[in-house]
Amino acid sequence: MYGKHMTRAKLEKLKQEQRRMRYLDTRKICDVFPNIEKIEITYHLHHGSVFGNQDKEGTWNVNLQSQMCFVLDCLNRECSSAGFDLKNEIYDMRRDNLTEKSDEMHCDGQEAPDHPEQRCSGTLHYTIKITYR
């Protein structure tokens, strides 16, 4: 099915894209949330394993012209999840007219494809800020 020349890296990439299909929503953010002017997500990703700790921090200024996808990748490259999906958080904030929310999420994936019994230890700490029109 994948052909002879598919490398492991490509295969992983493809699998990640397939998992991400479950988050697919091709509508534009500005069409779904016409009263939102700005969405800013500050994140701190963490993954710890026997090979060491990985951390990544940053700020994501969401482009409102892009598709409805609010997914941050888990730092564990072998992880079986499709990433951290913040879409429900943003829907909830919009419903309650919240301008700021901070919380943490634990990855729902497996640590590695060959360790199905071990949960991924990836975490995300985030702050979402929304500006309404």
Site residues (vs Zn ion, CB under 5 A): 74, 76, 79, 81, 107, 109, 120, 122
Q: How far apart are CA 2 and CA 10, in angstroms?
A: 10
Q: How far is the CB of 11 from Zn ion (least distance, A)?
A: 18
Q: How far is the CB of 52 from Zn ion (least distance, A)?
A: 15
DSSP summary character for residue 22: G
Closest Cα partner for 60 from 69, 52, 49, 51? 69
87 vs 94 by CB, closer to Zn ion: 87
39 vs 109 by CB, closer to Zn ion: 109
Q: How far is the CB of 30 from Zn ion (least distance, A)?
A: 30
Q: How far is the CB of 66 from Zn ion (least distance, A)?
A: 23
72 vs 109 by CB, closer to Zn ion: 109
Q: Mention every residue, 6+ apart, whose C-beta is less than 8 A from residue 131.
A: 36, 37, 38, 39, 99
Q: Please count the other Cβ atoms lying within 10 Å of the Cβ belonging to residue 92.
A: 12
